[in-house]
Structure 1
Amino acid sequence: MKALSSHHRWNTPAIYLLNVTLYTRFHETLALFPAHVPVFVNAKVQERYGAALGSRQVGVIDAERPITLKPLMEALSSGAALVALDTDQRGFQAVARYATERRIPVIPVYGHSLVIDEEHPLPFDDPRSALDTLQHFLFQSYMGPRTVASVNLFDELVQSARYYGEDRVIVKDMMGSARYRDVLLQSYVLGTALRRMIRRHRVGVMLPNSVGHVVVLFAMFYAGLTPVMLNYSSGVQTVVDACETAGVDVILTSREFIEKGQLQELEQALTARYKLHYMEDVRKEIGLGAKLAGLWAFRRRRPAHPGSNEIILFTSGSEYRPRGVVLSHGNIYANVQQTRSVIDFGTEDRMLNAMPMFHSFGLTAGALLPLIAGIQVYLYPSPLHYKRIPEICGQERSTILFGTSSFLEKYGQNATPEQFAHLRYAVAGAERLKPEVEQAWLQKFGLQIMQGYGATETSPIMSLDTPINHKQGSVGRFLPGLRYRLEPVDGIEQGGLLHVQGPNVMKGYLVHGEGFVEQTGWYNTGDVVDVDEDGFVTIVGRLKRFAKIAGEMISLNLVEQLAARAYGDPAFAAVSIPDPARGERIVLVTTHRGLTLAPMRDLVDRMGYSRMHVPAEIRVIDEFPLLGSGKTDYVTLKAMVEKGRA
């Protein structure tokens, strides 16, 4: 594309806005603008491209210091200016706000395709539309030339390593650290060995948060294999059901992990059915041929082998067995870039993640996002160590911490202000943020917890509350690229049933006994939400028959089925009510008096389900409220339980 040379264009006040990413062709983009057009950058762009800027008139913008915007204002009095920022959400919004208030056009520039999009400037008259347009522009810039269907996460890791520096330490755990170079080399070698060792494309993964787990995932991505992420905390039967659902007969795990996690019972049950490969043995048995082939591929930075480019996680199913959620690499990559489009995550940050990678929040936000975005991440194997995690946060000078509301509550109770002194962001997901937790963090640490909302089926984040765009009680605004519609629900006046479409929405489900069921059209979240005039989302309630306990989804239908079996009678109904400690708790309602929970506990243990399936209490009612169809009226029953009338 030739440089634009219209004298009138460059002498008319306008801001040409460039989001500098790893796919930006910076030198070529700069050449689109005449030498007399001033360029304003942030410190990151100046450091990386100072030589390319050469003799041009250059100003440095720092959104934390509004005075640095003054030279830009002066330049705009006589003509156009190019503003090029890297990972600077606050800077982008400050520039856009200044321009739109003064009705100065803000024109997107796409550095990966060398397109100056003068047909779609930011709108002047609607602040919400202006912000939506800005964040959509940032999202498209981060996606670069990639389409969702073309993404392989291993290839993206290679690109990120090249951009941020292969000698950059990118991941740590209790045993040590690894540079991008180390992760790549080990992934090439292990991936080569796995291709020769495993013939099935879906492989179970049962490992803790660690550098080794990251290497296993990227080795599988390179080898064209599909990781099936197994929730080892969900009980023997649930893990077996998950393996059956995904058609898994090979599982990668670790002897040390099984020993330290006291998972011998689960190991025994899985060994009887499947082939377990222990990573300690796999690494020892890698032959010279695989090592040399892996080293050769590493030196050439060979692209990943062809494969389905998928990863499978699990969520509760209506038939009491877990459903496999099939996410493409593109779904996850899009969600990473959507998130980066609304909040600043930069190379100066240090993330601490104890959320397990079998959980979509722990996988996408806590592991893959930092490696793709050049953020150093410390992976800790358990979120339950409430004293140790704040200690590590202080030692590592962590700036970003992930957790559920319940976990953040415990961390806050055990942490000193000094241990959290470097935190910029604490992000809550997987369950509703409790107001008392939010207030406690504000009082003790002066830090506003950000609340995210999502689902495994959306990779997982749909909306995110941020310090720049915050509304008390909301879960923020929908991420760019995600479309939504609200369907009216009988009996609910405010809000509607949320349906979404977007690049982060799953490919489909794996259903036990049925196989793959493609997701087409709008995805029904099962949640009732309200969206205000500024785009902020408030969760009204859930329609699905599940309880969310400490971030885990527990089927209330399954609880009823277990109760009927434990007590030899079907006259039970399970409802969930708010719980200050764990988000929700299950109440089992019956017409029978004098029952205890002991038979329920015994059955749950015998069948290999987790203790979360045991209700918190039993309540007695004279008769169940019924709908006109004769089915139990759960809405009325839940209200009775909450009001103490059952």
Structure 2
Amino acid sequence: MALILALLAAIAFVWCLTAIVEKVRLGLSSAQAILYAPFKLFYRISDSRIGIARGTQAPVVYVVTHQSRIDPALMLSLLPDETLHILDEASAKSLWLEPWRELARTITFNAEHVFVSRRLVRVLRGKGRLAVYMPAAVEPDMRSFRLYRAVIRIAMQADARIVPVFIGGAQALPFQASGKPPALRRWFPRLNISVLEPMTARELVARNGSPATRNAHALFDRMAEARLAATSPDLTLFQAVRDAAEHFGPGHLVLEDATGNRLSYRKLLTGARILGTRFTKLTNPGDSVGVMLPNSSAAVLALLGLASAGRVSALVNYTAGPANVEAAMRTAVVQIVISSRAFVEKAKLDDVVQAVESAGAKLVWLEDLQTGVTGIDKFRAALLWRYPVYRNNACVPAVILFTSGSEGLPKAVVLSHRNLIVNAMQGEARVTVSCRDIALNILPMFHSFGLTAGTLLPLINGMKLFLYPSPLHYKLIPQVARRLKPTAMFGTDTFLAQYARTASEGDFSSLRFVVAGAEAVKAETRRAWSERFGTMILEGYGLTEAAPVVAVNTAIHNREGTVGRVLPAMRMRIEPVEGVPEGGRLFLTGPNVMMGYMTADRPGELRPLADGWQDTGDVVKVDNEGFITITGRAARFAKIAGEMVSLGAVEMLVQSLWPEESHAIVSVPDRRRGERIVLVTTATQANAASLRKLGKQAGIAELAVPGDIVKVTEIPVLGSGKTDYRATRDLVIERLSAGSAA
């Protein structure tokens, strides 16, 4: 009995002491502090930013993402006690919440009346405070989205500030507000309360760059930023995967490849530490180390091993040709390249190996590294799998990628750990993913989309990742999908169109979504996937310099013909382009934008962006809800007889005439007009008369209609599946010189 009394006394002492500390530290009332103390103790809450919410001058609307049943209790304990809380029906009636409901005024949410009531505007105009609890879905349905419209309308009418609040970690609690059990249940996760700086509704809309006077998307984007801020981007690649292992469980199966290798988080990080230890004996911290491997568990082990060792992975595009590979090695000052003898032999890359050696780099074979591993090495790595070999920070270079070179020579893009981790988290804040998902990635990791979206996003979010070595196996990949039953897939239009032609019914029917980037998705491809597999293609947009995802459509917020809306925490500006009446050249900034370039004239030297803004080189237009339409490349404009013509626009026009074929539009010098437009096509039936008729129907100038047609069996493409315009233009010049154009 005495022991029980002593234990109760100790609990009461800790409770009271915590309450006193929180009352003084956060400025809470005594009742708030007493009721907040158990949450602070159980969930080790990080609440340093709650002072922003409490200190915001009224009128103010606190917009809380409602994930779990304890969210109202937390907010009632932490927000100023004069706040009016609009609670859902379950929270308003819950008996256990009764003590917390006594802390402030509460009313029950009524979808028919509350958000159109003038009472709320009057409350705010009277220097009031309002707490609104929004649905937690990353992709809210149209009914839920009406709440965003209502909140921003009320905030505008009352000229109130908006403060977004997101409780990181609450999505794992077993008592979810939606009633749906979480993908991963944890009774006492660490919680992190994310609070963003206050902004008025008008400031949000203006920042969104929209001409609309009332834009719910502006509020939705701000809430997504709060979700992103609740995560920790200041991690290295190794640390981010390690944290995922601790969250989803070390034994969670996370990686499988075409060779049959199946790795849990523990095995993956143990192997990465073994390789990291080996790499420290071959290189110095900060060195650029080439990685020339196909999509496989070995490639992921090498990437994480180099991150663990504090080295920079220079991912070699072995499909770019010997000349480009040699130039890349020299530009990034790569002295060692990690590869596999079996891979080089099977892929017939002897000429690429010679190019690597010609650049002064040495090949180190994985087979040799594996044979040198001792039992003691394995035992030490198994004990220390949670810890990197070399302590590093998130703001140093993590990888070097080489741009596609579709229109010129490739450039070396330097991305930090933070760039990559933030971009993966930005994607997770926009598209719903969970540890229940199975991701099929056919895009090579030397392609930025294949690295971040196809590899890092699944690894960090507990998705089972299946890596397939080549996207060109058009008949085999549908068979893999039938066996694997993936729920998510990443690809490009070129590859997706080919899979749709070769797949059998049901091969891809398990997919929840397919994210497509790197090139425009053709209407024919979209229709084929929808009709044959019932799968929606979510078109996105990115560039290597942005790690790479910039914008993406979602299942709910999807507009065909656009690439979606810009990701959270990114900003864009549009500058006029000669000859383009609507839209302009797109510039971007954000935490995912690269550290800088390395160039051939100054090898190994990082050249950061002068003002933090990246010139994408793309010409776009943005509608009043923020959906972006790519209208062309600034470099892909031709000046014909003094008129600017978008080659991309002409290409889309030709695609509508022969939708099942592949086409590319290029310009070549012309003595009379300066430049002339040439169509390169796989359509054997293509003819100039049909093009002129289409141009007349579309109302485009005659000078924008291709005057020459070059017919080919296949359009030159890069390893990413994008059209290789440089090679296509060389082909055209060669054909025209030989007089073989139509």
Q: Does 1:199 align with 2:284?
A: yes
Give the structure 2 partner of residue 186 of structure 1: 271
Structure-2 change in CA distance of 1:367 and 1:54 (3 Å): farther
Q: Is contact 1:158-1:301 (8 Å) kept?
A: no
Moved more, 135-144 or 113-122: 113-122
Give the structure 2 partner of residue 468 of structure 1: 556
1:271-350 matched pairs, under 5 angstroms? 271=357, 273-287=360-374, 290-298=377-385, 304-305=391-392, 308-315=396-403, 321-350=409-438
Q: Does 1:356 align with 2:444?
A: yes
Q: State the one-letter code of the partner of 1:400.
A: A
Structure-2 change in CA distance of 1:451 and 1:99 (3 Å): closer
Q: Does 1:18 align with 2:72?
A: no
Structure-2 change in CA distance of 1:247 and 1:577 (3 Å): farther
Q: Does 1:398 align with 2:486?
A: yes
Structure-2 change in CA distance of 1:114 and 1:452 (3 Å): closer
Q: State the one-letter code of the partner of 1:17.
A: V
Deviation at 1:94, TM superposition (A): 4.8
Q: State the one-letter code of the partner of 2:458.
A: P
1:602-621 matched pairs, under 5 angstroms? 615=731, 618=734, 620=736
CA separation in 2, counterparts of 1:107 and 1:529? Answer: 31
1:531 to 622, 628, 650: 622
Give the structure 2 partner of residue 167 of structure 1: 251
Structure-2 change in CA distance of 1:420 and 1:478 (3 Å): same
Deviation at 1:207, TM superposition (A): 0.4
CA separation in 2, counterparts of 1:545 and 1:114? Answer: 46
Give the structure 2 partner of residue 137 of structure 1: 223
Deviation at 1:301, TM superposition (A): 7.4
Deviation at 1:277, TM superposition (A): 0.9
Give the structure 2 partner of residue 108 of structure 1: 164
Instruction: List gaps (5 residues or longer) in structure 2.
Output: 1-25, 36-53, 99-107, 121-129, 156-161, 169-191, 206-211, 638-646, 652-663, 684-709, 717-725
| Deviations, residues 561-597 of structure 1 (Å, cap 9, x unaligned) | xxxxxxxxxxx9897757579xxxxxxxxxxxxx999
Deviation at 1:313, TM superposition (A): 0.3
Structure-2 change in CA distance of 1:611 and 1:281 (3 Å): farther
CA separation in 2, counterparts of 1:229 and 1:525? Answer: 22
Give the structure 1 partner of residue 313 of structure 2: 227
CA separation in 2, counterparts of 1:301 and 1:347? Answer: 24
Q: Is contact 1:350-1:399 (8 Å) kept?
A: yes
Moved more, 470-479 or 404-413: 470-479
Q: Does 1:250 align with 2:336?
A: yes
Deviation at 1:26, TM superposition (A): 12
Structure-2 change in CA distance of 1:207 and 1:421 (3 Å): same
| Deviations, residues 242-287 of structure 1 (Å, cap 9, x unaligned) | 0000001100001111122121232244345321111111122124
Deviation at 1:168, TM superposition (A): 1.4
- Name the % identity: 32
Q: Is contact 2:164-2:222 (8 Å) kept?
A: no
CA separation in 2, counterparts of 1:166 and 1:94? Answer: 39
Deviation at 1:310, TM superposition (A): 2.2
Q: State the one-letter code of the partner of 2:610.
A: T
CA separation in 1, counterparts of 2:229 and 2:682? Answer: 40
Structure-2 change in CA distance of 1:474 and 1:192 (3 Å): same
Q: Is contact 2:329-2:356 (8 Å) kept?
A: no
CA separation in 2, counterparts of 1:234 and 1:108? Answer: 46
Give the structure 1 partner of residue 299 of structure 2: 213
CA separation in 2, counterparts of 1:470 and 1:319? Answer: 30
Q: TM-score, normalised by structure 1?
A: 0.74
Moved more, 314-323 or 455-464: 314-323
1:543-562 matched pairs, under 5 angstroms? 543-544=634-635
CA separation in 2, counterparts of 1:236 and 1:545? Answer: 26
Deviation at 1:14, TM superposition (A): 7.9
Q: Is contact 2:331-2:600 (8 Å) kept?
A: yes
Secondary structure in structure 2 of the residue aligned to 1:433: coil
2:593 to 495, 505, 510: 505
Deviation at 1:309, TM superposition (A): 3.6
Q: Is contact 2:295-2:444 (8 Å) kept?
A: yes
Instruction: List gaps (5 residues or longer) in structure 1.
Output: 43-52, 58-69, 561-571, 582-594, 602-609, 623-640
Q: Is contact 2:87-2:109 (8 Å) kept?
A: no
Structure-2 change in CA distance of 1:13 and 1:184 (3 Å): same
Deviation at 1:96, TM superposition (A): 4.7
Q: State the one-letter code of the partner of 2:470.
A: S
| Deviations, residues 571-627 of structure 1 (Å, cap 9, x unaligned) | x9897757579xxxxxxxxxxxxx999xxx9xxxxxxxx9778515745499xxxxx
| Deviations, residues 145-192 of structure 1 (Å, cap 9, x unaligned) | 646xx4312111111111222221111112231111211111122212
Secondary structure in structure 2 of the residue aligned to 1:489: coil
1:542 to 606, 627, 633: 633
Structure-2 change in CA distance of 1:73 and 1:526 (3 Å): same
1:554-633 matched pairs, under 5 angstroms? 577=679, 579=681, 615=731, 618=734, 620=736
Q: State the one-letter code of the partner of 2:352.
A: L
Q: Is contact 2:166-2:193 (8 Å) kept?
A: yes
Q: Is contact 1:231-1:239 (8 Å) kept?
A: yes
Give the structure 2 partner of residue 260 of structure 1: 346
Q: Is contact 1:241-1:321 (8 Å) kept?
A: no
| Deviations, residues 366-396 of structure 1 (Å, cap 9, x unaligned) | 0011111221111000001111111111211
Deviation at 1:138, TM superposition (A): 2.2
Q: Is contact 1:224-1:309 (8 Å) kept?
A: no
Secondary structure in structure 2 of the residue aligned to 1:203: strand
Q: Does 1:481 align with 2:528?
A: no
CA separation in 2, counterparts of 1:410 and 1:179? Answer: 32
CA separation in 2, counterparts of 1:115 and 1:2? Answer: 18
Q: State the one-letter code of the partner of 1:404.
A: T
CA separation in 2, counterparts of 1:223 and 1:138? Answer: 33
CA separation in 1, counterparts of 2:537 and 2:488? Answer: 11
CA separation in 1, counterparts of 2:504 and 2:154? Answer: 47
1:98 to 144, 147, 151: 147
Secondary structure in structure 2 of the residue aligned to 1:467: coil
2:261 to 173, 176, 179: 176
Alignment size in residue pairs: 558
Q: Is contact 1:459-1:505 (8 Å) kept?
A: yes
RMSD, matched Cα: 4.6
| Deviations, residues 223-243 of structure 1 (Å, cap 9, x unaligned) | 100000100011111111100
Give the structure 1 partner of residue 467 of structure 2: 379
CA separation in 2, counterparts of 1:40 and 1:309? Answer: 46
CA separation in 2, counterparts of 1:450 and 1:207? Answer: 28
| Deviations, residues 106-158 of structure 1 (Å, cap 9, x unaligned) | 862233553556945878996974323323332342343646xx431211111
CA separation in 2, counterparts of 1:618 and 1:300? Answer: 56
The structure that has the greater radius of gyration is 2
Q: State the one-letter code of the partner of 1:90.
A: E
CA separation in 2, counterparts of 1:442 and 1:169? Answer: 31
Secondary structure in structure 1 of the residue aligned to 2:373: coil
CA separation in 2, counterparts of 1:318 and 1:398? Answer: 31
Deviation at 1:451, TM superposition (A): 1.1
1:151 to 223, 226, 235: 235
Structure-2 change in CA distance of 1:104 and 1:168 (3 Å): farther
Q: Is contact 2:448-2:548 (8 Å) kept?
A: yes
Q: Is contact 1:452-1:475 (8 Å) kept?
A: yes
Secondary structure in structure 2 of the residue aligned to 1:538: strand
CA separation in 1, counterparts of 2:213 and 2:376? Answer: 60
CA separation in 1, counterparts of 2:374 and 2:86? Answer: 58
